[in-house]
C-alpha cells in the first residue's frame, strides 16, 4: 500500500527520500517473494512433493532465482545505507540537499543496481539444487543451495559477509551522526518547525537500517554453526530466517506509516474510499523548504 501511495501520489511526496523509499520498496517486495521460494517453500512437505523433489538434480535455471534472492537481499542493506546518507546530508547541507540528490540520483541508482552484482556474479555459473535429509525419513527437511561447480576461487559467502559488514558500519555511522546533529540543531529546527519532520524521517531510516542489520547479523553468523546438520540448516533457513524477514518487512512498512501522517491519510483515502470510509484529504499545496527533504 505504501509503495502504491508513493508512486500514485508522487506529486504529493516530492522529496527524493520518498522517491528512494518507493524504489527500494519494490526491491523489498521482490526479495520477500524470492525469500518464500528459496527458504520457506522447500520446508513445506506439500510443495516438496509437488515441485521441489525434482530439484535434487542440479539445474541451471534454479540458480538464477538463487542469485536474484541474494542480489535483492544485498540491495536491501545498500538501500538502508543510501537512506542514511540521505538523512545525514539533509542536516549537513539543508539548502542544497534536495538539488544535490536530484542531480546525482541516476548515479546513486546505478550503484544500487550494479554493486550487488559484483558480489554474486559467480553464482550464475553454477547450478541450483535442493538438498534434503532423506536419511531421517522426512523429505521436507530440505533447503536450497547451489552445487559450487564454478566458484572461480571466489567465496560468495565471504563477499556477502564483507559487503554486509562494510555497509552496516557506514549506515550505522551515518544514522548516529544524523541523530547527533539533530540533537545539536534541535533549537534551530524547532524555530523553523522542521524538528518533527526530520525526526520522523530519521526514525524511518533508522528502523530500516536496524531491521536489515538484525536480519543480516543472524544470517551471517548463526547458519555457520549448523552447516553439518541438514535438520538444523532446514530449521534456520526454512523457518527462522523467513520469519525474521517477515519482521523486517513489517517493521519497514510500519515505520513509514507511523512516521508520516500524510502517508496514513493517503492510504485511508485511496483504500478506504471503496469501503465507504469518508476521509478528508488535504488539497492545499504547501511550499516546503529543502531542509524538509
Full 3-state SS string of the chain: CHHHHHHHCCCCCCCHHHHHHHHHHHHHHHHHHHHHHHHHHHHCHHHHHHCHHHHHCCEHHHHHHHHHHHHHHHHHHHHHHHHHHHHHHHHHCCCCHHHHHHHHHHHHHHHHHHHHHHHHHHHHHCCEEEEECHHHCCCCCEEEEECCCCCCCCCHHHHHHHHHHHHHHHHHHHHHHHHHHHHHCHHHHHHCCCHHHHHHHHHHHHHHHHHHHHHHHHHHHHHHHHCCCHHHHHHHHHHHHHHHHHHHHHHHHHHHHHHCHHHHHHHHHHHHHHHCCCCCCCCCCCCCCHHHC
Contact between residue 167 and residue 78 where contact means Cβ atoms under 8 Å apart: yes
Q: Which residue has the higher pLDDT, 291 or 266?
A: 266
Domain ranges of the chain: 1-275
Residues in the chain: 293
Q: Which three cell numbers stand for residue 251?
A: 517493521
pLDDT at 226: 53
d(C-alpha 167, C-alpha 83), whole Å: 12
Report pLDDT digits (tens) over 173-226: 988 888 888 888 777 666 665 667 777 778 788 888 888 887 777 777 765 555
Q: How many CB atoms lie within 10 A of CB 103?
A: 10
pLDDT of 293 strictly over 60:
no
Contact between residue 11 and residue 288 where contact means Cβ atoms under 8 Å apart: no
pLDDT at 248: 78
pLDDT at 205: 82
Q: State residue 140 phi and psi, 5-degree precision.
A: -75, -5
Contact between residue 213 and residue 171 where contact means Cβ atoms under 8 Å apart: yes
d(C-alpha 70, C-alpha 146), whole Å: 12
d(C-alpha 20, C-alpha 22), whole Å: 5
Which CATH number applies to 1-275: 1.20.1070.10, 1.20.1050.90, 3.40.50.2300, 3.60.21.10?
1.20.1070.10
pLDDT at 233: 64
pLDDT of 291 strictly over 70:
no
CA dihedral 86, 89, 95, 96 (to 10 degrees): -70
**Burial of 2 (C-beta count, 10 Å sphere; 0-12/13-18/19+):** buried
Contact between residue 143 and residue 130 where contact means Cβ atoms under 8 Å apart: yes
The closest of 90, 99, 85 to 199, measured between CA atoms, is 90
Report pLDDT digits (tens) over 56-89: 777 788 888 889 988 998 898 899 899 899 888 8
Give Dmax (Cα) for the chain: 69
pLDDT at 137: 47
Report pLDDT digits (tens) over 123-178: 888 888 877 766 544 445 677 778 878 878 888 888 888 888 888 899 989 888 88
Amino acid at each position: 500500500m505504501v509503495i502504491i501511495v508513493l508512486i500514485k501520489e508522487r506529486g504529493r511526496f516530492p522529496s527524493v527520500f520518498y522517491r528512494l523509499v518507493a524504489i527500494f520498496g519494490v526491491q523489498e517486495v521482490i526479495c520477500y517473494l524470492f525469500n518464500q521460494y528459496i527458504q520457506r517453500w522447500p520446508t513445506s512437505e506439500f510443495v516438496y512433493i509437488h515441485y521441489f523433489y525434482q530439484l535434487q538434480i542440479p539445474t541451471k535455471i534454479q540458480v538464477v532465482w538463487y542469485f536474484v534472492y541474494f542480489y535483492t537481499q544485498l540491495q536491501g542493506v545498500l538501500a538502508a545505507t543510501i537512506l542514511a546518507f540521505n538523512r545525514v546530508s539533509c542536516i549537513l547541507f539543508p539548502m542544497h540537499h534536495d538539488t544535490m540528490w536530484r542531480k546525482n540520483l541516476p548515479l546513486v541508482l546505478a550503484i544500487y543496481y550494479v554493486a550487488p552484482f559484483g558480489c554474486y556474479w559467480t553464482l550464475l555459473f553454477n547450478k541450483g539444487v535442493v538438498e534434503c535429509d532423506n536419511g531421517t525419513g522426512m523429505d521436507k527437511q530440505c533447503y536450497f543451495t547451489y552445487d559450487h561447480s564454478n566458484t572461480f576461487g571466489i567465496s560468495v559467502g565471504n563477499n556477502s559477509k564483507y559487503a554486509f559488514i562494510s555497509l552496516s558500519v557506514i549506515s550505522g555511522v551515518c544514522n548516529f551522526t544524523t541523530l547527533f546533529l539533530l540533537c545539536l540543531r534541535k533549537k534551530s529546527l524547532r524555530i523553523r518547525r522542521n524538528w518533527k519532520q526530520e525526526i520522523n524521517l530519521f526514525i524511518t531510516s533508522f528502523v530500516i537500517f536496524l531491521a536489515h542489520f538484525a536480519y543480516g547479523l543472524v544470517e551471517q553468523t548463526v547458519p555457520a554453526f549448523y552447516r553439518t546438520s541438514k535438520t538444523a540448516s532446514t530449521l534456520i533457513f526454512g523457518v527462522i530466517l523467513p520469519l525474521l524477514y517477515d519482521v523486517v518487512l513489517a517493521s519497514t512498512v510500519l515505520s513509514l506509516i507511523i512516521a508520516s501522517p500524510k502517508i496514513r491519510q493517503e492510504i485511508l483515502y485511496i483504500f478506504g474510499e471503496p469501503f465507504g470510509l469518508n476521509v478528508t484529504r488535504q488539497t492545499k499545496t504547501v511550499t516546503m523548504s529543502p531542509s524538509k527533504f
